[in-house]
């Protein structure tokens, strides 16, 4: 037994070594490492501090867009594009004082398509030299400026960047974009042609976007990482204006990791038909003229739209500038332990969750863009109480270490990856409308409202008659004064959790939810563009064609 365990241990350890050695032998890693080592060891100007931290990143990017309009492929680029970008981040000073959070997240440069270690290194060499001179200048200038002000001791005591345990890990590569182009061109052509029967729709398209990339990170701290990313999206859009100059548009978007996950042709056809019907209905909809304060049922796309707005990028730490700049952002760190939203709501970041109910998530990641592995789960709000915040390597008073949530190639954008919002109070999905009516009736309201669009603040709404339960579409309204505090008036949610994928983020949430005391008012647009003077050429053609066919008869 002991032999077996030893052998197994040896195998695991050895395979780990082989993997990390494979990564160290990777062409890009070698080029980045060689240039990085040379610079961290020898880049130094007399009487200036040496750089103490250099990070190189390299992104191999594969992009492709196919667009179809009115039954024709209109994108002119016929092959996926391949590009490479590098990013140089260099810090002068030490971990405690380097003003990192006051500087750019890095300096981007374009690399040649052809793989050449000499060229990659030459470009990095020039950019590192430039970054060093700029950063050293800024560092000294900021140190000098600090002498003019008195800074809160506690803020001054914070490090400017936290130390990490660097990882050497290969999370895999991505392949160049590969799919059945002819099949998808035919699908897009067919779908986009569905708009042709509606000549009043003057802008219409269907589009497929691919974006695959692999990021390499090499740092003077010892990190060597390769991580892949793959995404594909289908979007459809239509737009028209009426005789009064009112604009109507409707869209559909589906995000996935792989083209095989996109909906079937029949589903996509249904979505196109929904877009057409929605615009027609919107044109005919009644205008919202009153003011409303009462319960609103958020459903379909409005739910991830709302939750992304409320929690997506806002529950994050913010470092106060010691130079006194105030960006006016909400500082949630002071509110930790306090009630932020309804006690029924719990919000959790699940950055590594690769799938939900068998459906891949588009937002998940294994390591963040600062080389830190995030936890499997981080509770941000528990039973309405703010428990934690997303952060990266910039320390703040209550978060000295990175939790690994920076997700941007050259910036410091914090992202939960996968965000789960759950409710302690749920009812069956098919009871939600009845509950909405019940709450409205109890409030003495004749109507209640339902919203189902992602841009919920400016969407058309369904007005529900409390007496009859009948729904009527209304337009020219907006949900106002709605912010995270509005979720204190959360009433209930449906008992079914669903996954909504978006670019770079996924949200797992109840399918629908009701919030009380939502304000709705009419749009106060006093100006709108005049309608187009000349008649729509498609309508003219339709008239000419019908006249022609009548004449023939």
Partner 1 sequence: MKILRALICLALLLTCLNEIRAQDQFYSFLKDELQREYQQLKTADNRLYYMSYRVDDIKSYRISSSFGVINSIDSSRMRIFSPIIRIGDYKLDNTHGSMFGQIPASLPVTDDEDLVKLALWKSTDAAYKNAAQVYEKILTDKKVRVTEEDTAADFSPAKRVNHFDPSINYNALKPDLTKLAERVAGFTAILKQNPDLLTGNGMVEFKITRKYFVDTDGSSIIENSTGTWLSITGNTKADDGMDLPLYQMYFFYLPADLPSVDSVTKDVKNMRAKLNALRKSKIADPFVGPAILSGRAAGVFFHEIFGHRLEGKRMKSEYDGQTFKTRLGTSVLPSFLSISMDPTIKKVGHTDVNGFYLFDDEGVQAEKINVVEDGILKNFLMTRTPINGVSGSNGHARTAPGGVPESRQSNLVVIGKHNKADAELRQLLVAEAKKQGKDYGYLFQNVQGGFTTTGRTSPNAFNVLPIEVYKIFADGRPDELVRGVDLIGTPLSMFNRIIASGDKPEIFNGMGGAGSGWVPVSATSPAIFVDVIETQKKSKSNDRLPVLPRPDLDK
Residue ranges in contact with partner 1 by CB under 8 A: 34-35, 38-39, 42-45, 69-72, 74, 76-77, 83, 110, 112-114, 116, 118-119, 121-122, 125-126, 129-130, 132-133, 196, 202-203, 530, 532-538, 540-541
Q: How far apart are CA 523 and CA 60, in angstroms?
A: 45
Closest approach of Cβ 534 to partner 1, in Å?
Answer: 4
Q: Closer CB to partner 1, residue 108 or residue 360?
A: 108
What proportions of the chain, in percent to the nearest 5, are helix, strand and coil?
A: 30, 30, 35
Radius of gyration of the chain (CA): 28
Q: In this structure, are residues 236 and 188 in contact, taking their beta carbons and an 8 Å threshold?
A: no
Alpha-carbon separation of residue 444 from 74, 119, 463, 515 (angstroms): 54, 73, 15, 16
Lookup result for tokens 């160049």: 176
Instruction: Give strand ranges (E) for 435-548.
Output: 447-451, 461-465, 471-475, 477-480, 490-494, 497-502, 505-510, 512-522
**Length of the chain in residues, anyone?**
553
Minimum Å distance from CB 31 to partner 1? 9
Supply the minimum distance, in Å, between the C-beta of residue 76 and partner 1: 5
Please return the burial class of 78, using the count of CB atoms within 10 Å of its CB with bins 0-12, 13-18 and 19+.
Answer: exposed
Least CB distance to partner 1 at residue 317 (A): 36
Buried b (16+ CB within 10 A) or exposed e, 177-195: bebeeeebeebbbbbbbbb
Residues 17 and 9: their CA atoms lie apart, in Å, by 12
Q: What's the first-to-final CA gap in the chain, in angstroms?
A: 94
Burial (CB < 10 A; 0-12, 13-18, 19+), residue 500, is buried
Q: Please say which residue, 24 or 70, places its beta carbon nearer to partner 1.
A: 70
CB of 483 to partner 1, least distance (A): 37
Provide the minimum distance between the beta carbon of 369 and partner 1 in the complex, in angstroms, as a whole number. Answer: 25
Provide, rounded to whole angstroms, the least separation between the CB of residue 238 and partner 1: 13
Which one, of 265, 233, 310, 261, lies nearest residue 502 by Cα?
233
Report the nearest approach of partner 1 to the CB of residue 150 (Å): 34
Closest CB to partner 1 among residues 34, 343: 34
CB 138 to partner 1: min, Å? 15
For the record, the structure tokens of 403 come out as 């939790």
Q: Are 88 and 132 in contact (CB under 8 A)?
A: no
Cα–Cα dist 364/376, whole Å: 10
Q: What is the DSSP letter of 311?
A: I
- Following CA atoms 6, 12, 16, 17 in sequence, which dihedral angle do they give, to the nearest 10 degrees? 30
495: CB partners within 8 A, 6+ apart: 426, 427, 428, 429, 510
What is the closest distance, in whole angstroms, from the C-beta atom of residue 201 to partner 1 in the complex?
10
Which of residues 119 and 180 has its CB atom nearest to partner 1 in the complex?
A: 119
Closest CB 311 distance from partner 1, rounded Å: 39
Contact between residue 128 and residue 136 where contact means Cβ atoms under 8 Å apart: no
């Amino acid at each position: 037994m002991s032999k077996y365990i030893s052998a197994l241990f040896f195998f695991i350890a050895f395979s780990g070594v082989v993997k990390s050695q494979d990564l160290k032998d990777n062409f890009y890693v070698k080029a980045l490492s060689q240039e990085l080592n040379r610079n961290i060891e020898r880049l130094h100007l007399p009487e200036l501090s040496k750089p103490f931290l250099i990070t190189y990143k390299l992104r191999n990017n594969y992009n492709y867009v196919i667009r179809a309009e009115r039954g024709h492929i209109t994108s002119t680029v016929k092959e996926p594009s391949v590009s490479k970008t590098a990013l140089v981040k260099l810090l002068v000073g030490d971990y405690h004082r380097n003003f990192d959070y006051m500087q750019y997240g890095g300096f981007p440069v374009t690399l040649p398509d052809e793989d050449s270690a000499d060229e990659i290194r030459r470009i990095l060499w020039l950019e590192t030299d430039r970054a060093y001179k700029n950063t050293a200048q800024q560092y000294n200038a900021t140190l000098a400026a600090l002498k003019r002000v008195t800074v809160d001791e506690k803020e001054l005591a914070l490090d400017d960047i936290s130390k990490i345990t660097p990882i050497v890990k290969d999370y895999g590569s991505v392949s160049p974009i590969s799919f059945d182009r002819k099949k998808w061109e035919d699908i897009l052509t067919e779908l986009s042609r569905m708009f042709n029967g509606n000549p009043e729709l003057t802008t219409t398209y269907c589009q497929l976007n691919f974006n695959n990339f692999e990021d390499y990170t090499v740092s003077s701290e010892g990190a060597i990482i390769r991580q892949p990313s793959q995404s594909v999206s289908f979007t459809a859009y239509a737009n028209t204006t009426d005789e009064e100059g009112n604009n109507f548009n409707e869209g559909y978007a589906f995000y996935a990791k792989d083209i095989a996950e996109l909906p079937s042709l029949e589903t996509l056809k249904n979505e196109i038909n929904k877009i057409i019907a929605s615009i027609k209905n919107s044109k005919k909809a009644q205008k919202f003229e009153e003011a409303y304060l009462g319960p609103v049922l958020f459903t379909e796309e409005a739910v991830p739209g709302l939750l992304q707005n409320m929690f997506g990028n806002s529950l994050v730490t913010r470092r106060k500038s010691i130079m006194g700049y105030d960006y006016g952002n909400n500082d949630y760190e002071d509110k930790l332990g306090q009630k932020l939203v309804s006690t029924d709501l719990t919000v959790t970041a699940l950055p590594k969750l690769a799938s939900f109910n068998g459906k891949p998530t588009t937002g998940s990641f294994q390591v963040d863009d600062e080389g830190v592995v995030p936890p499997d789960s981080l509770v941000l709000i528990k039973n309405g109480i703010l428990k934690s915040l997303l952060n990266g390597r910039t320390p703040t008073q209550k978060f000295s270490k990175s939790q690994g949530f920076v997700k941007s190639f050259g910036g410091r954008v914090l992202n939960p990856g996968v965000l789960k919002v759950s409710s302690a109070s749920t009812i069956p999905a098919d009871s939600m409308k009845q509950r909405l009516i019940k709450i409205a009736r109890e409030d003495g309201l004749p109507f209640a409202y339902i919203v189902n669009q992602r841009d919920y603040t400016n969407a058309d709404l369904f007005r529900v008659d409390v007496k009859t339960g009948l729904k009527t579409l209304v337009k020219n309204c907006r949900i106002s004064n709605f912010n995270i505090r509005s979720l204190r008036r959360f009433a209930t949610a449906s008992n079914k959790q669903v996954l909504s994928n978006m670019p770079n983020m996924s949200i797992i949430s109840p399918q629908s939810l009701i919030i009380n005391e939502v304000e709705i008012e009419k749009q106060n647009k006093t100006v709108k563009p005049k309608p187009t003077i000349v008649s729509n050429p498609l309508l003219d053609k339709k008239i000419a064609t019908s006249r022609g066919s009548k004449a023939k008869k």
